[in-house]
Amino acid sequence: MATPTAEKITKEGVSVDVSKLAAQPTVELFGHVTLVEGYAVPNYIGCHALVLLRDTPGKTVAVMTTEQRLQSLLETALDTGNLIAFRGQKLLVPPTPLGGTWAVDVYGINSVILYSMK
């Protein structure tokens, strides 16, 4: 099958599955951080953390951020064992900084709340 020319695409239009373009809803989830991994590779500077969810026992998700302040809060949560809440959107095609695939749902986050155990 021949590759369509730009002129043909312009005249006939392009079919796009818009459901794949829709923004995911923002969620707020609670849990405990069990791992933090930082990256400084050409295609990604930031971190991911694994979070064992409080309200869905046995379910772990990953959160990703490029914000240093959020990474610091995730590291503190790992160190102290304190509960966190995070807000973000589930990523349909999450980055894989070191290659491979994800075995858990991955959320791009924009907020972390670190709770005190006291």
Share of the chain above pLDDT 70, in %: 81
Confidence of residue 1 (pLDDT cuts 50, 70, 90): very low
Confidence of residue 16 (pLDDT cuts 50, 70, 90): low
pLDDT value of residue 23: 77
DSSP designation for 15: -
Helix count (H) and strand count (E) of the chain?
2, 5
* pLDDT at residue 27 greater than cutoff 90: yes
On whether residue 98 sits in a domain, the answer given is yes
Share of the chain above pLDDT 90, in %: 77
Q: How many domains does the chain have?
A: 1
Residue 57: CATH number of its domain: 2.40.50.110
- Classify 9 as helix, strand or coil: helix
pLDDT value of residue 117: 74
